Structure 1
Amino acid sequence: MNRDPHRHDLGEFLKARRAELDPAAVGLPDGGSRRVAGLRREEVAVLAAISTDYYARLEQGRIQPSPSVLESLARVLRLDDDQRAYLYELAAKDDFRPPRRQPRLKAQPQLQRMLDDMAHTPAFVIGPRTEIVAWNAMGAALITDFGKIPEKQRYYIRLLITDPAMRELYADWEGVTRLAIAQMRMHNANNPGDKQLAALVGELSVQDDQFRKWWGAHNVAVRDTGTKHLRHPVVGDLHLDWNAVTWAADPDLQIIVWTAESGTPTHDSLRMLASWAADPSRSTSGSSA
């Protein structure tokens, strides 16, 4: 029997989420004799008003859950909005998935011009697998000289995992890396059978135990906005807001823009960074087009 390729991931996601739950938080006694973290299968089943056998088959990837069961599980497992969306995406039948075109993942000339016109604002363009496909001089000055990295290796997640300088750059390197992995997980749900993503995950899983552990945790997130603390080797500490803006001409691409509030030390430091980036000996804007 052919099974939905998402069902394995659905089962692993359910296991990971129930392992995170504190029994006391859902009104269950701890008991002190639990052999595994979180809730037992039968406890999730009772709270979701389904049979233990039915829930076990869900975790084993053997059955297709109904919408009402999904809603009950989302409530019991206390899923946030991103996790809920991921749950429903994994549970969707392949027959109802619209065909998706392959991402172009190349920056159009007008996109590169826009980036280059942002002379005082770091920015780069990222794809769903964390491919870096375009950047401006400030983006390269802030993060790394992307142009020196071979195109086929120019993945943000690969830099985070393999480049020691990235661990120094991000004060919360673990949080940044886990967020990037969670965003990749969300793409994986929307794009079953993505061979490029599978190859990247396989490569990094072999290279790095932490990546393998965090990928297996099945955490998910959308790429939207946030704040990061960077320890820049040239201008020092930076507390930057970042926003992900979807490029309408190719929704698979997002522009990551870094800003700081006017009058703050970080805003002044960005001006210093812009002067450094404008050095004629540095030529760091570009794209993979």
Structure 2
Amino acid sequence: MADLGEPPDWLRRSLGIEPEQRTVQVDGCEINLLVWGEPGKPGIVLVHGGAAHARWWSPIAPLIGDYRVVALDLSGHGDSGRRPEYEVGSWANEVLAAGESVEADGPPVVVGHSMGGFVAVATAVAGGDRVAGTIVLDSPMVEDDPEVEAARIGAAFGVPKRYPSMDVAISRFRTVPAQDHYDPFILDYVSRHSLRQVGDEWEWKFDPMLFKAISRNAAAEQLPKIGTRVALLRSEFGLVTPEIGQIIYDNLGRVAPVVELPLSGHHMMLDQPLILLTALRALLADWEHSVPVRR
């Protein structure tokens, strides 16, 4: 494997802040949590996309600000337990439990990427005043997320594969959808934490049945039901086109911001993490002292 050299100082410092690891039981399934920040601070829950895991957030989670930040592995992902089948309602319960188990001050803001955006919306609708705000990251809402479509057509997530070494597995790591640019240090970090050892071999952590068994609510139909503050951050080179962004804006009552993240692909935390971090900080700072416009 090629030597990547030294990561930039900001990333080295951020990844050096190791989170507290804990678990919470939700409907008989053990859910893995990573927690940053001091108890008693306002809460933020970070929700990854399909086949991803909590450590996709590690480069930026410690830098969001003076918050109690928790990233969870949804069931069927990362180091969490598996279920016989998966559906958005169960994942929403996991997000609510994560936010309420980490000693935060009040209900959390929920941030969801891609498939996690579907989950964040469902959490806001089901949770009501147990959620303080919802930030959706490049989740198309009006159509299936790319992981589900890739599984449906057989382009990814088929027969589970095992590899003779971690380095071989890392060389096969791919995102769905692919994009033109990744930060090499973050991609290496994320891919290493995507694997588990089984005997002398390595395999991806996510449940291979995840996308075959999944059942979703129609996210677009849920959007008008959200009672919290809400915002959409879409990537310039992502899945949420300006046209889809307009549809989502209309469904949110034309009062929620839809903001483009310049230079970003769909997986913005893997290629433009500081742009994403700046956008999140700006939204959260505004929400701390402003009054939302009611639909």
Query: Is TM more than 0.5 here?
Result: no
- Greater strand proportion: 2
Higher relative contact order (CA 8 A, sep 6+): 1
TM-score range, shorter chain: under 0.3
Per the normalisation by structure 2, the TM-score is 0.27
Looking at secondary structure, tell me which structure has more helix per residue. 1
TM-score normalised by structure 1 residue count: 0.28
